[in-house]
């Protein structure tokens, strides 16, 4: 196999490997755009994973499983929304609590699923026409439906953020809630919706892990992916397109992690790679943010009360 | 117009003393109630489960001794986190600092020749504390130099430390005498912390933990540096105007909390296991659980003594229901997450009055509030 063929095969595998990160990151980008950091992504994802697997086992219907995972992820996110938007508690600790909660509940619920063979599978659906393109065809257009939907979400969100009233409201709430409020935007409603959407997306990301990528239920199977999502959101500079690229970058690392084991490199050392890369990515983003004077949404992590105006 | 009642928070001028004692207790009880409901939904009888947790942790001399044993790492790491959180420096990486402390202690115990027997254990504690502090300085330096948020980086260092332990016990440090298990060789006698009788309470570490709590209390409440920590945490702007160096304070509290977590790791390998093993074998998440210990103590170092015993008991009880009722080890996380969430929410009652507002009715006279993040 030539070096190009090797790189190609890694990239091809990186796309499904990065898909849970695509969903998670797009969701977190949206939530943070409204000014709320949700560190509970890991918890919402693992809840999505266990829900999807359970529903798939019970009904044999993959789409029902994905929808249920999204809903559970969204409901989980509402806990954080209530705590951080309405009660205005510390967002860092509240998100952390959400992650622990997800790990606990999913572990208890999922115990009966351990070792079960999956009942459903999401098969690759080559897109007629596009899948025959040289290079791009096999790279992008011979995957399963969730990969395509994830890809499609990127232009959709970009359009929503930058070309619609709704996007202006979202961004203004994240930059200056008091101004947005004065303009008649319902700050609380926008934030609740954004956090809820973040949960839906994380739930789908989790579903992808348990019914497509693995496919199996393994306790703690998110294994830090939710935390990488948080880092990717910063790396993405809260932009959907960069979020997608970052997610596939980490997908490639995940693929390399398995392939390099064949060369006799110690697995624990390889397992460090995504986490070391996360730190490097954060360093890169910090340097870039300083140069270009880019930054987080100005009201990130700041609870809003009307009385403060 | 929106017809839903609106919840409004009104800042309290001062918190009645009874309230600041009652809220953590009520928060934990409320959390236990919700967990009971979840247990019920999952087909686990909550009364049986809670009964087993309580008798498992506090119902026998063995249970009590195990509760104290598990409180030791929680107390050490928890005290450090209290100091960090007071300065609003979010060190989430205590688990990794604990593991690095364990690695350093193991290195001194097994691979450094020529230390007199009486100095072996002190050298291990010093090495563990240094290791933990240096590991905590990774996120601290990144924060100081590049303004990178410490929450994520400190967490990433947990995963890296955990894989480092795996690498060592499956690779270069794997003990030839351990029949293929991922363990190092057993520590020599001089590198084992003495215990009380037949219990697993390694009392020198317990004494260190109690000392740490008292010293931290003195440091935070009575020294100029502690004053800076508190001001930095409560009002970073004011601290800056007063010429206090926020980043320097952040580095110092990070290093201090890392050192204490590192010492907790020394206690685990030298007081319990007498060897380095795979990471979950050394710590079932003590560094994360210590976050709850710190928060439950309402960031009071002396309070940590109590809350670490309480949460230690919960861990022991959790082990008991795992064995008796076939529940997975993740059950403990359910307790952790729920208690943390309710303690966080409960804090609100000590700082604010909660008012319900019904649109349409005349609202109370508007009160101007100062911007304040609820800790």
Q: What is the pLDDT of residue A190?
A: 96
B315's tokens:
């861990």
- Element containing residue A291 per DSSP (H, E): helix A267-292
Closest CA to A69 of A24, A111, A108: A24
The DSSP code sequence of B16-55 is -HHHHHHHHHHHHHHHHHHHHHHHHHTT--HHHHHHHHHH
Closest CA to B149 of A291, A80, A227: A227
Residues of B in contact with A186 (CB under 8 A): 2
| pLDDT of B361 above 70 | no
Cβ contact, residue pair B331, A107, below 8 Å: yes
Pick from A104-118, B69-83, B219-233: least confident: B219-233
Closest residue on chain A to B1 (Cα): A186
Cβ contact, residue pair A104, B331, below 8 Å: yes
Q: What is the pLDDT of residue B7?
A: 66
Cβ proximity of B285 and B306 under 8 Å: no
A208's tokens:
């992808």
Q: How confident is the model over B236-265, as a mean pLDDT?
A: 88
Residues of A in contact with B341 (CB under 8 A): 79, 83, 94, 97-98, 101
Cβ proximity of B100 and B158 under 8 Å: no
Closest CA to B267 of B282, B253, B285: B282
B187's tokens:
């520590």
Cβ contact, residue pair A104, B332, below 8 Å: yes
Cβ contact, residue pair B333, A93, below 8 Å: no
Q: How confident is the model over B295-299, as a mean pLDDT?
A: 90
Question: Three-state DSSP class for B356?
Answer: strand
Question: Three-state DSSP class for B95?
Answer: helix
Cβ contact, residue pair A96, B348, below 8 Å: no
Q: In B130-155, which positions are buried (b, 16+ CB within 10 angstroms) versus exposed (e)?
A: bbbbbbbbbbbebbbebebbbbbbbb
Q: What is the pLDDT of residue A294?
A: 65
Instruction: Look at B208 and B3; give whichever has higher pLDDT.
Output: B208
* Cβ-based burial of B42 (10 A; exposed 0-12, middle 13-18, buried ≥19): middle
Digit-coded pLDDT (tens) for B305-316: 999 999 999 999
Distance from CA of B184 to the nearest CA of A (A): 16
Residues of A in contact with B9 (CB under 8 A): 87-88, 305
| pLDDT of B368 above 80 | no
The DSSP symbol for B305 reads H
Instruction: Tell me the pLDDT band of B147, cut-offs 50, 70 and 90.
Output: confident
The DSSP code sequence of B202-271 is -HHHHHHHHHHHHHHHHHHHHSHHHHHHHHHHH-HHHHHHTT--HHHHHHHHHHHHHHHHHHHHHHIIII
Q: How confident is the model over B130-146, as a mean pLDDT?
A: 94
The pTM score is: 0.88
Question: Three-state DSSP class for B354?
Answer: strand
Which residue carries 């967990």 as its tokens?
A: B35
Per-residue confidence in pLDDT tens, chain A, 309 aa = 688 888 888 898 999 999 999 999 999 999 999 999 999 999 999 999 999 999 999 999 999 999 999 999 999 999 999 999 988 888 888 999 999 999 999 999 998 899 998 888 888 888 888 888 888 888 888 889 999 999 999 999 999 999 999 999 999 999 999 999 999 999 999 999 999 999 999 999 999 999 999 899 998 899 889 999 998 998 888 999 999 999 999 999 999 988 888 888 888 999 999 999 999 988 988 887 777 766 778 888 888 887 654
When CB atoms are compared, the residue of B42, B332, B369 closest to A307 is B369
Cβ contact, residue pair A92, B90, below 8 Å: yes
Question: How many whole angstroms separate alpha carbon A96 and alpha carbon A39?
Answer: 6
Kindly calculate the radius of gyration of chain A based on its CA atoms and give it in whole angstroms. 19
Q: How confident is the model over B238-254, as a mean pLDDT?
A: 84
Closest CA to B286 of B264, B257, B313, B269: B264
How far is residue A278 from each of residues A18, A262, A273, B285, measured CA to CA in Å?
Answer: 14, 24, 8, 22
Distance from CA of B60 to the nearest CA of A (A): 27
Closest residue on chain B to A186 (Cα): B2
| Percentage of the residues of chain B whose pLDDT score is greater than 70 | 91
Mean pLDDT value across chain B: 88
B332's tokens:
């403990």
ipTM for the complex?
A: 0.88
How far is residue B103 from each of residues A52, A180, B72, B187, measured CA to CA in Å?
Answer: 39, 52, 18, 13
| pLDDT of B357 above 80 | no
End-to-end CA, chain B:
32
Closest CA to A18 of A281, A196, A279, A274: A274
| pLDDT of B35 above 50 | yes
| Percentage of the residues of chain B whose pLDDT score is greater than 90 | 59
Closest CA to B292 of B266, B271, B315, B264: B315
Digit-coded pLDDT (tens) for B253-270: 999 999 999 999 999 999
Distance from CA of A281 to the nearest CA of B (A): 11
Question: How many whole angstroms separate alpha carbon A261 and alpha carbon A111?
Answer: 30
CA atoms within 13 A on the CB side of B358: 2
Q: What is the pLDDT of residue B239?
A: 78
Q: What is the pLDDT of residue B11?
A: 73
Cβ proximity of B206 and B72 under 8 Å: yes
Residues of A in contact with B353 (CB under 8 A): none
A45's tokens:
């994802």
Digit-coded pLDDT (tens) for A60-113: 999 999 999 999 999 999 999 999 998 888 888 899 999 999 999 999 999 889
Q: What is the pLDDT of residue A1?
A: 64
Instruction: Look at B272 and B244; give whichever has higher pLDDT.
Output: B272
Closest residue on chain A to B142 (Cα): A283
| Percentage of the residues of chain A whose pLDDT score is greater than 70 | 98
Question: How many whole angstroms separate alpha carbon B63 and alpha carbon B200?
Answer: 11
Question: Three-state DSSP class for A17?
Answer: helix
When CB atoms are compared, the residue of B146, B149, B163 closest to A283 is B146
Closest residue on chain A to B146 (Cα): A286
Question: How many whole angstroms separate alpha carbon B21 and alpha carbon B26?
Answer: 9
Cβ proximity of B256 and B108 under 8 Å: no
Q: Among the ranges A285-289, B61-65, B179-183, which has the highest mean pLDDT value? A: B61-65
Q: What is the pLDDT of residue B370?
A: 45
Closest CA to B24 of B343, B292, B351: B343
Give A277's contacts (C-beta < 8 A, 6+ positions apart).
A249, A250, A253
Q: How confident is the model over B104-117, as a mean pLDDT?
A: 95
């Amino acid at each position: 196999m030539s070096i190009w063929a090797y790189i190609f095969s890694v990239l091809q595998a990186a796309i499904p490997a990065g898909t849970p990160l695509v969903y998670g990151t797009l969701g977190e980008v949206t939530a943070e755009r409204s000014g709320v950091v949700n560190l509970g992504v890991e918890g919402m994802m693992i809840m999505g994973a266990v829900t999807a697997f359970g529903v798939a086992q019970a009904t044999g219907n993959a789409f029902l499983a994905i929808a249920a995972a999204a809903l559970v992820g969204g409901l989980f996110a509402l806990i954080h929304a209530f705590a951080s938007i309405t009660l205005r508690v510390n967002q860092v600790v509240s998100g952390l609590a959400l992650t622990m909660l997800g790990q606990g509940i999913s572990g208890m619920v999922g115990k009966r699923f351990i070792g079960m063979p999956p009942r459903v599978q999401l098969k690759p659906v080559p897109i007629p026409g596009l899948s025959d393109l040289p290079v791009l065809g096999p790279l992008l257009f011979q995957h399963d439906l969730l990969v395509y939907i994830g890809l499609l979400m990127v232009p959709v969100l970009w359009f929503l953020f930058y070309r619609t009233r709704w996007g202006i409201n979202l961004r203004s709430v994240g930059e200056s809630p008091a101004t947005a409020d004065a303009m008649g935007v319902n700050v609380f409603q926008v934030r609740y919706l954004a956090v809820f959407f973040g949960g839906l997306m994380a739930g789908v990301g989790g579903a992808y892990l348990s019914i497509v990528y693995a496919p199996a239920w393994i306790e703690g199977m998110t294994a830090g992916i939710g935390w990488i999502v948080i880092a990717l959101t910063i790396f993405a500079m809260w932009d959907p397109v960069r979020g997608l690229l970052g997610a596939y970058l980490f997908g490639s690392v995940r693929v390399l992690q398995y392939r390099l084991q064949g060369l006799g490199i110690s697995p624990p050392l390889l397992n460090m790679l995504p986490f070391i890369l996360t730190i490097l990515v954060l360093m890169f983003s910090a340097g870039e943010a300083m140069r270009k004077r880019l930054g987080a949404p100005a009201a990130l992590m700041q609870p809003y009360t009307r009385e403060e105006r | 117009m929106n017809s839903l009642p609106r919840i409004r928070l009104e800042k309290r001028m001062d918190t009645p003393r009874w309230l600041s004692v009652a809220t953590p207790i009520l928060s934990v009880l409320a959390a236990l109630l919700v967990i009971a409901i979840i247990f019920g939904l999952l087909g686990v009888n909550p009364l049986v489960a809670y009964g087993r947790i309580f008798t498992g942790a506090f119902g026998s001399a063995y249970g009590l001794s195990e509760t104290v044993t598990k409180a030791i790492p929680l107390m050490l790491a928890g005290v450090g986190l209290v100091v960090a959180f007071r300065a609003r420096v979010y060190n989430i990486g205590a688990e990794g600092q604990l593991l690095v402390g364990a690695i350093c202690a193991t290195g001194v115990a097994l691979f450094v020749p020529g230390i007199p027997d009486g100095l072996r254990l002190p050298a291990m504690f010093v090495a563990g504390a240094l290791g933990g502090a240096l590991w905590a300085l990774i996120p601290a330096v990144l924060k100081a130099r590049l303004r990178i948020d410490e929450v994520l980086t400190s967490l990433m260092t947990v995963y890296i430390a955990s894989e480092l332990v795996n690498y060592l016990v499956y690779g270069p440090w794997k003990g030839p005498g351990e029949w293929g298990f991922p363990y190092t060789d057993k520590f020599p006698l001089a590198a084992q912390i003495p215990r009380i009788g037949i219990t697993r309470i390694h009392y020198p570490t317990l004494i260190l933990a109690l000392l740490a709590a008292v010293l931290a209390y003195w440091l935070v409440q009575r020294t100029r540096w502690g004053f800076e920590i508190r001001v930095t945490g409560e009002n970073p702007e004011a601290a800056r105007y007063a010429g206090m160096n926020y980043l320097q304070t952040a580095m110092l509290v990070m290093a201090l909390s890392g050192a204490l977590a590192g010492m907790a790791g020394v206690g685990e390998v030298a007081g319990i296991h007498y060897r380095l093993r795979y990471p979950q074998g050394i710590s079932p998440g003590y560094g994360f659980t210590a976050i709850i210990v710190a928060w439950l103590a309402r960031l009071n170092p002396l309070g940590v003594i109590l809350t670490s015993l309480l949460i230690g008991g919960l861990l022991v009880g959790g082990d008991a229901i795992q064995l008796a009722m076939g529940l997975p080890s993740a059950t403990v996380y359910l307790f952790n997450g729920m208690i943390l969430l309710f303690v966080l929410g409960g804090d609100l009652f000590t700082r604010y009055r909660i008012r319900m507002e019904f649109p349409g009715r005349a609202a109370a006279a508007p009160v101007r509030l100062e911007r304040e993040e609820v800790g």
